[in-house]
Amino acid sequence: MSKKLVIGLVGATLFIGGTSGFLSWNKNEEVIVQTIAMENVVELGDIIIGLSETGSITIPTYDVTFDYAVEVVEAHVKAGQQVSVGDVLFTITTDSIDDEIDALEDEIDKYNDEIDGYNDKIEGYEDQIDDYKDKIEDYYDQIDDYKDQIDDYYEQIENYYKQIENYEKQITKYYTSISDLEEDIVTVEKNKANSEAVYDLEVEKAILTYSRTLSQEAVVSDQYSLSAKEIEQQIINLEYTISSLEDQKEEYEALVLTYAKDYAKLDLLEIAMDEAEEILEDKQYALTLYDRENSINFNMSEPDATYESIANDERELYSALVSAQAQRDALYNAYIADPSNETLASEYSAARTAYTNAYNAWNSKYYDYIEARENYADSLAEYKANTNLKNEYWDMVDEISDLQDAYDDAKVAYSEYELELNSNYYGMDDEGLEQKIIDLEYSIADQYLNYEKLQQSVTTSEIDTMLGLAEFNLDLAQAQVTYENTIDGLQDTLDNYDKQIANLYDDIEDIKDNIDSTRDDISTVQSNISKAERNISNVQKSIESTQKNITSTQADIVKAQVNISDLNKDIASVRVDIAEVNAEIKELDAIRKTGTIVADRNATVAGVTGEEGSSYNANVSLATLTNPDDNTYISVTISEDDINSIYIGQPANITMSAFDNAAYKGYVDSISYTAARSGGGSVSYYVYIKVEGDTENFFEGMSSTVTFIQESSENVITVSTRTLITEGRNTFVKVKDPETGEGTLVQVETGLTDTRNIEITNGLNVGDIVLIESQVTGTTSSSTSSSSGQSSAPSGDMPSSSGGERPSRD
């Protein structure tokens, strides 16, 4: 951005140097105000807000080690060298590998013993499962006995209800008898009225008046009696209906109480079924994978032990070698005893040559024998392993068959119990049962309302009857005066009729007593029904307890099956270990044959510690490899005050001290939760940034500066914050007019700022020139003058750098 300093002089002009004309100075103190304006061309830029920290380059290295003690014969690489996958790094001795292979073979034997132990445990669990199944059969027999008991109790209840029905019929007959007796009473009263008609006319008139009154009273009484009978019968019917509804309500309430437990059992059976299905599917999938991985090896033939013929040849050559050695030693002893004997010397020389030839022949055959024996051992081991794989396959097939049976049994148990619950609960869920109870409660409430209405009807009828009787009594009192003198003659007859009526009423009371007794019998039978229902409830609880025992035993079976499954998994794990050990044996055998350590990746050799002729323990680093192109990091420390503003994946800008004008990108790869350092009350934490892009020229420990980007606006219009002029809530900048050079206030809208520069979102365009103005003020002594012609610098008091106040910038 280009900047141009413009200085405007306001007030008196300060002349420095000579001017044209005559100067006449008058001493005067004046204030000078200088306005300084810097031009700022509006351009596109970036606003980045972030936290900056310094750090150093970290390039991870990888150690080259060997799992066993080793002696380095030759190092084939040096520091700084580039290697690829498979390049030879070291040649090593293989003397200790045979012992390691023997140790690994012993380890395989231990694994096989461990598998035998697991198989023994599996047999024990299978015996337990058989015992559990026998227990379950016994439990089911108990449940059948309990169900028979329940059937007997239900039969008793049915008989009790029949008794109640008979009692109710008998009560109906009693009411019929009462009705007949009441009709007889009416008949007697009529006869009584007829007998009164035989008296003389005068008496007859009074008697007729009296009889009419009595007849009307009797009619009203009869009507009330008949109405009371009907209402009482309705009340009895309502009581029976209410009792029946309450019995239904109790039944559904009992179902609601047992619903959760019963369906919890169903859920347990479903869980057992699902678990059995999951175990079966897992084992079937394992069999599929097993067959896919190993079926190619199932038909491998047993290796041919052709090495035995080589062994026989080696033994014959060794016998010849021993014989040649004995002959050589004998001739040597004879030759030492007589060194001047040329014959012995010649024979000894020939014996030495024969021994050497015999040794060479045996030595060549011996190595052929060793190689043939090892090849046979490898082939035999592979054949045995494949035979074991085939046996494992059929073991898994048998196990899947057993798991299928277990799943089928669990599925049948679930289906049967589900059907039983649907039957017991009338195909309703718990909400349906609750709704049924609510409906019954509403029905019972309605019946009780009807009951109360009938009771009110009885009361109303009694009141009406009493009022009617009161009116008849008034009429009777009026008639009493008329027939009082004649009533004595009729009294005996009327007394007889009254006695008949009283006897009939006594008979009615006796029948009512019989009705009460019958109702007591009904209560006794209902009590017996309740006892039978309680017995049924107790037996059902026994069934539930037995079913719990069945569920518990089934759970024990599942646990045993899970244990068997776990043991099979342990066996599979041990077999994996065996396979890994076999793979390690093959790897060691390959190393023994080649005697080399090779690179496992493309990398640069950072250092070599393995020296030729030196021995090293297992897992000791022989060399270090690195690859800065893929794994270059920067480690920085962030204080506890700032660590919460850093997050994984956060972008970062990177500059390197070693590379001027070079910028790199990166992101936060990891944050250490352990303090890097602490002191003076401050704690810091390591943060690692993964560097992106080309890092070929980076070296361990190089210095860098990392800016963790928290907020940014890229390729936006930016100006210096010093250009802003704030008035109230509005923000302005002074824009230079390209024609007049004057500054004009322009309102702008701002965005993100880093405190030095700020984003302009509206009001400016790229290429606009904005002014940054500041003022410098000061006082000085000066003289006014008039001038004419050429003059030199005036004399007297002149402004100096020390005169007045020191200029300051606003």
Average pLDDT over the chain, rounded to an integer: 80
Give the dihedral sign, CA 175/176/180/182.
positive
Residues 6+ positions from 52 with CB-CB distance below 8 Å:
705, 706, 707, 708
Structure-model confidence comparison of residues 205 and 118, the more confident one: 118
CA atoms within 13 A on the CB side of 18: 8
Which pLDDT score is estimated for 321?
Answer: 86
Give pLDDT, residue 787.
Answer: 41
Instruction: Say what the pLDDT of residue 759 is.
Output: 93
What one-character-per-residue DSSP string does 238-252 give? HHHHHHHHHHHHHHH
Q: Where are the beta strands (DSSP E) in 524-567?
A: none
Q: Which is nearest to 163 in space by CA: 531, 533, 535, 518?
A: 518
Residue 810: pLDDT band with limits 50, 70, 90? very low
pLDDT value at position 799?
Answer: 35
- Answer yes or no: is pLDDT of 166 > 80: yes
Judged against a pLDDT cut of 90, whether residue 687 lies above it is answered with yes
What integer pLDDT is reported at residue 50 of this predicted model? 86
pLDDT at 558: 92
pLDDT value for 353: 92
C-beta separation of 554 from 409 below 8 A: no
Helices (H) and strands (E) in the chain, counts: 6, 25
In this predicted model, what pLDDT tens digit does every residue of 126-143 receive, in sequence order? 898 999 899 899 989 989
pLDDT for the residue numbered 475: 67
The answer to whether 34 touches 10, Cβ cutoff 8 Å, is yes
Res 379: pLDDT: 75
Eight-state DSSP code of residue 296: G
Sign of CA dihedral 203, 206, 209, 213: negative
Q: Does residue 482 sit in helix, strand or coil?
A: helix
Which residue(s) pair with 689 in the sheet? 634, 668
Cα atoms found within 13 Å of the Cα of residue 254, Cβ hemisphere only: 14
pLDDT attached to residue 448: 82
Cα–Cα distances in angstroms (integers) from residue 298 to residues 4, 309, 386, 390, 393, in the given order: 91, 29, 6, 6, 10
> Is-contact 330 354, C-beta < 8 A?
no
What average pLDDT score do residues 689-699 get?
Answer: 85
Specify whether the CB–CB gap between 770 and 42 falls below 8 A: yes
| pLDDT exceeds cutoff 60 at 804 | no
**Any idea what the Cα angle at residue 193 is, between residues 190 and 195, rounded to 5°?**
110
pLDDT band at 220 (very low <50, low <70, confident <90, very high): low
Question: How much is the CA Rg of the chain, to the nearest whole Å?
Answer: 61
Q: Which of 97-101, 457-461, 608-612 has the highest mean pLDDT?
A: 608-612
> What pLDDT does 791 receive?
37
**642 strand-pairing partners:** none
For 158-210, give the DSSP string: HHHHHHHHHHHHHHHHHHHHHHHHHHHHHHHHHHHHHHGGGS-HHHHHHHHHH
Q: What is the mean pLDDT of residues 536-553?
A: 90
148-162, 185-199, 634-648: segment of lowest average pLDDT: 185-199
pLDDT at residue 318 is higher than 90: no
pLDDT for the residue numbered 782: 53
Q: 66 vs 306, which has greater pLDDT? A: 66
Q: Is the pLDDT of residue 270 over 60?
A: yes
Give the end-to-end CA distance of the chain in Å, rounded to a whole number.
24
- For residue 436 the two structure tokens come to 């049924």
How far apart, in whole angstroms, are the C-alpha atoms of residue 340 and residue 804?
A: 133
pLDDT over 90 for what percent of the chain?
A: 19
pLDDT of residue 769: 92
pLDDT at 100 over 70: yes
Residue 22 pLDDT greater than 50, yes or no:
no
- Identity of the residue numbered 346: S
pLDDT of residue 297: 60
Mean predicted confidence (pLDDT) in 440-444? 84
Whether 337 has a pLDDT exceeding 50, the answer reads yes
Please give the average per-residue pLDDT across 613-622, as a whole number. 85
Q: Is the pLDDT of residue 601 over 70?
A: yes
Poorest-pLDDT segment among 111-120, 494-503, 574-583? 494-503
pLDDT > 80? residue 67:
no
**263 Cβ contact list (under 8 Å, min separation 6):** 421, 430
443-461: b (≥16 Cβ within 10 Å) or e: bbeebeeebeebeebbeeb
Question: In the prediction, which pLDDT does 339 show?
Answer: 82
DSSP secondary structure of 601-651 = S-EEEEEE-PPTT-EE-TT---EEEE-TTT--EEEEEEETTTGGG--TT-E
Question: Predicted confidence band at 794 (pLDDT cuts at 50, 70, 90)?
Answer: very low
The number of C-alpha atoms within 13 Å of 682 and in the hemisphere containing its C-beta is 8
C-alpha closest to that of 409 among 133, 147, 140: 133
- Give the pLDDT mean for 243-262: 83
Q: Which of 807, 799, 804, 806 is nearest to 14 (CA)?
A: 799
Mean pLDDT of 393-413: 86
Closest by alpha carbon to 51, among 771, 681, 684, 638? 638
214-218, 428-432, 545-549, 589-593: the lowest-pLDDT one = 214-218
**DSSP character at residue 346:** H
Cα-Cα-Cα-Cα torsion 613, 617, 619, 624, nearest 10 degrees, comes to -30
- Rounded to 10°, the helix 201-294/430-483 angle is 180
Residue with tokens 């409430």: 445
Question: Does residue 647 surpass a pLDDT of 60?
Answer: yes
pLDDT tier at 606, thresholds 50, 70, 90 = confident
pLDDT one-digit tens code per residue, 726-759: 998 999 999 998 888 888 899 999 999 988 899 9
| Confidence category of residue 222, pLDDT binned at 50, 70, 90 | low
Q: Tell me the C-alpha distance between 94 and 294, whole Å.
A: 32
Q: How many beta carbons lie within 10 A of that of residue 221, not counting itself?
A: 18
Percent of the chain exceeding pLDDT 70 equals 81
| pLDDT confidence of residue 425 | 80
Residue 41: pLDDT band with limits 50, 70, 90: confident
- Cβ proximity of 113 and 548 under 8 Å: no
CB 606 within 8 A of CB 625: yes
Strand partners, 755: none
